[in-house]
Structure 1
Amino acid sequence: MKETYEGINHLDEDLKPVPLAKWEIEWRNILSISYMHLITPYAIYLMITQATWQTNLFAYILYVVSLIGVTAGAHRLWSHRSYKAKAPLQIILLIFHSIAHQGSAFHWARDHRVHHKYTDTDADPHNSNRGFFYCHIGWIFLKKNPKAIAKGKCIDISDLMADRLLQLQHKYYYFVAPSLCVLMPTLLPTVWGENVWNAFYINGFRIIFSLHSTLLINSLAHMWGAKPYEKDINPTENMIVSFFATGEGFHNFHHTFPQDYRAAELGGYKLNISRLFIDIMAKIGWAYDLKTVSEEIVEKRVNRTGDGSHPVYGFNEHTDLHIEYSKSQIRQKGT
């Protein structure tokens, strides 16, 4: 596939900011997301005082698998093609992604390619230069920026269009997603004796919490943190984001080397559950052709464009002393 979505041209005159006042409000998203925020305190109360431990555990499991569907599926597999997956794994990832209910994986991958091509310009669906609220959730409350729509038409998505499983989920998304994201998590807990309304409210909290965990990648990981690989872009290394978003907080690395399936260099599996999941799938033969960037290329990039904060090749922020590591120690830190 011709990866036309990698790279950026900030000098494009068409990308100059458009006043937000000219944009249209997406009332459906405002109402649905506001409702889930309103029920959150009551859902937390139910989790603490009434819900069974099985229901709380089930909500956490759904939280993790839904994020894996987004990060290992829509992001690393379909957006970047950083590895290949056999049909059983693709089906699992599409089910997981539907549980997250963040739009079809086709739409998610298409928009993410636009994000990488035009990062932090007005063609980026969630331009972080417009401030934290906008890039975190404000962009969802508005109809898509016309510039993002226009530039999106220039992105190569022929592989996405030709992917039969991806298109199948896209075609039936508004039946599949509500069934897996709302109906199943509400009814299944009644099997172990949970009150159906307890399950409904707790699942609503799970949905909004997983949404915010994903949105932190667009906001927190584009505004605060170190830039050991490329100091002249907004994306950063933010471990808070990795904790909540199953390993997506190594964002300066990811925007520098988007083809790497790990979306990280260091950290191993500690904060990168999505990488662990992909590696397990590789062990059983369902994931293959996993792409990585060599240590030599990473070191050269760090020395050429990094901000000096890399713990292996960089300089200690407080002492300015170079930290020496052997190649074996580098591998232990996450390669």
Structure 2
Amino acid sequence: MATRYIDGAAGPLAGAVVSDLDEVPLPSPDVRNNKRPLEIVWRNVVLMALIHLGAIYGLFLLPSARAYSLLWVVFCSVVVTCGLTAGAHRLWSHRSYKARLPLRVFLAIANSMSFQGSVYEWCRDHRVHHKYCDTDADPYNAARGFFFAHVGWVFLRKHPDVKAKGKLLDMSDLMEDPVVRMQKKFYIPSAVLMCFVIPSLVPLLWDESLSNAYFICALLRLAVALHCTWSVNSFAHMWGTRPYDKHITPTENLVVSIFAGGEGWHNYHHAFPVDYSSSEFGWKVNPTTVFIDVMAWLGLAYDLKKASPGVVRARAARTGDRSFKEHVQ
């Protein structure tokens, strides 16, 4: 497996993928607390309310679920995690490695199962988040509080700065990928099929009740997955250490890494966003890295980028919070 050590993002995508020098400094308090009327997207409020009410009902149905159904939930959750972390995040948002067509097709399908927007939309918001972290141009701006960073951003219309700054980013690399274009074009039907229909129908093969299949395998699974992803935007921006850059809000959060497929090593990720592992720990509490390494062994992933140890140590010494030695054993 070939791993290419890098000092930061380079090449024509450096501005879009964001190097460790591209993070925008924290804005002054008057900018971070810019008051403007809140525009609630009631469609999203109602949709999320229905999903969570169904998930709560699914909790009560759990004792009656068949063992195969619970295994199916785990399998679907793993697929969704791959689609988000290995796909939309590390592959398409940051170009931290390259993937051959079969893997890209799988990751796009898995992303549809997440019900978190198309690959294109997800990547656009995430690139803006990195480029303008904790400013009004950040879609899930942690400076607006825990609730907004976690889920409030879903309920409200984007701040005008998000749209304005987003238009400045070069997204041409995504539209050059036919897999991304196809998934973007057919996202709604693919999301309904992969997130709701298939998870609800497959359990019927082992005589699971339709209500259990729908409320547990579809809605409960979806609600949990949403909160696991959202925890990276909230918990991993508020609680934890900052061994690589103490001047930004992202933190190293073990609990988030456990529930979000290894995405909780967030201070490292914002310092070195083009590192395919999003961590210097290798496989330690980072199943997404394991997945990418296995795909590389199979020949489906290649050109894995990794921040060089010397650059990591230098960055920690220069801007870290002095907890670096506590993280590296």
The two structures have a TM-score, normalised by structure 2, of 0.91
Equivalent residue number for residue 236 of structure 2: 221
Conserved? CA contact 1:15–1:123, under 8 Å: no
Equivalent residue number for residue 276 of structure 2: 261
Note closer, same or farther for the CA distance 1:232–1:284 as it changes in structure 2 (3 Å cut): same
- Superposed CA offset, 1:148-183 (max 9, x none): 000000011110121111010000001111001100
Conserved? CA contact 1:15–1:147, under 8 Å: no
Cα distance between partner residues in 1 of 2:154 and 2:313: 37
Equivalent residue number for residue 304 of structure 2: 290
Aligned residue identity for 1:284: L
Equivalent residue for 1:247, pick from 227, 237, 262: 262
Equivalent residue for 2:34, pick from 7, 18, 33: 18
Aligned residue identity for 1:27: W
Identity %: 47
Cα distance between partner residues in 2 of 1:15 and 1:176: 39
**1:35-50 superposed matches below 5 A:** 35-48=50-63, 50=64
Aligned residue identity for 2:15: T
Equivalent residue number for residue 198 of structure 1: 212
Conserved? CA contact 2:40–2:155, under 8 Å: yes
Deviation at 1:144, TM superposition (A): 1.4
Q: For structure 1, list consecutive stretches of 5 or more residues without a partner in the other structure.
A: 315-329
Deviation at 1:28, TM superposition (A): 1.2
Aligned residue identity for 1:224: W
RMSD of the TM alignment (CA)? 1.7
The two structures have a TM-score, normalised by structure 1, of 0.90
Matched, 1:273 2:287: yes
Equivalent residue number for residue 105 of structure 2: 91
Deviation at 1:16, TM superposition (A): 5.2
Equivalent residue number for residue 112 of structure 1: 126
3-state SS, counterpart of residue 291 of structure 1: strand
Cα distance between partner residues in 2 of 1:286 and 1:201: 35
Conserved? CA contact 1:3–1:156, under 8 Å: no
3-state SS, counterpart of residue 42 of structure 1: helix
Equivalent residue for 1:307, pick from 299, 318, 321: 321
- Superposed CA offset, 1:270-302 (max 9, x none): 311110000000000000000001111111111
Equivalent residue number for residue 55 of structure 1: 69
Cα distance between partner residues in 2 of 1:310 and 1:8: 20
Matched, 1:176 2:187: no
Conserved? CA contact 1:23–1:145, under 8 Å: no
Deviation at 1:56, TM superposition (A): 1.0
Aligned residue identity for 1:4: G
Deviation at 1:303, TM superposition (A): 1.2
Cα distance between partner residues in 1 of 2:118 and 2:13: 22
Equivalent residue for 1:2, pick from 13, 17, 24: 13
Conserved? CA contact 2:32–2:134, under 8 Å: no
Note closer, same or farther for the CA distance 1:12–1:232 as it changes in structure 2 (3 Å cut): closer
Matched, 1:34 2:73: no
Conserved? CA contact 1:29–1:140, under 8 Å: yes
Aligned residue identity for 1:96: A
Conserved? CA contact 1:52–1:194, under 8 Å: yes
Cα distance between partner residues in 1 of 2:26 and 2:234: 23
1 or 2 for the larger relative contact order (CA 8 Å, sep ≥6)? Answer: 2
Cα distance between partner residues in 1 of 2:91 and 2:114: 16
Cα distance between partner residues in 1 of 2:203 and 2:266: 36
Equivalent residue number for residue 212 of structure 1: 227
In the comparison of the two structures, how many residue pairs are matched? 312
3-state SS, counterpart of residue 90 of structure 1: helix
Deviation at 1:255, TM superposition (A): 0.1
Conserved? CA contact 1:89–1:286, under 8 Å: yes
3-state SS, counterpart of residue 240 of structure 1: helix
